[in-house]
Amino acid sequence: MTEQNQSRLRERMTILGELDSETFVPWIRRHAARLGLFETISHTGPDRIELDVAGPPELIDMMEVGCSLGPIEVWVETISRRPIDNGCE
C-alpha cells in the first residue's frame, strides 16, 4: 500500500440495529468531526444508517468502534464496511 493510500481511505459504513436516527445521526457527525474524518450520510432509518467516511484507516477503525458503542438510545447489531474506489462506487 502506498503512503498516500495509507494516509487517506474512503469507505462505506452500513450500521444495522435498533437505531434512533434522530439522535444517532448528529452523534455520528460529532464523533466523525472529533476524529477529523470526512463523512457523508446517505441513508437514515430506524434499522439502517449508511455513511461514507474518509480519512486515515486507523481513525475509520476508531469510528467503527465508537459507532458500535454509540449513544445509549441505540442498539447496534452489526457494522459492515467496504472500500470506495476513487470516489466511484
Domain assignment present for residue 89? The answer is: no
Note whether residue 61 is domain-resident. yes
Among 60, 72, 62, 61, CA closest to 24: 72
51, 13 Cβ separation under 8 angstroms? yes
CATH of the domain at 19: 3.30.70.100
Residue 28 phi, psi dihedral angles, 5° rounding: -60, -45
Task: Give residue 33's domain range.
Answer: 3-83
Q: Give the Cα separation of 82 and 73 in Å (integer).
A: 26
- Assigned domain for 88 exists: no
Residue 86 is predicted with a pLDDT of 57
The yes-or-no verdict on residue 88 having pLDDT over 50 is no
**pLDDT tens per residue across span 6-58:** 568 999 999 999 998 789 999 999 999 999 999 999 999 999 999 999 999 99
What is the per-residue pLDDT for 68? Answer: 95
Residue 70 confidence class, pLDDT cut points 50, 70, 90 = confident
Considering the domain boundaries, does residue 28 fall inside one? Answer: yes
How many structural domains is the chain composed of? 1
The pLDDT confidence band at residue 85, using thresholds 50, 70 and 90, is confident
Question: For residues 45 and 6, what is the distance between their CA atoms, to the nearest angstrom?
Answer: 32
Q: Residue 77: CB partners within 8 Å, gap ≥ 6?
A: 16, 17, 18
- Spatial separation of the C-alpha atoms in residues 62 and 31, rounded to whole Å: 10
Is residue 68 domain-resident?
yes
pLDDT at 5: 47
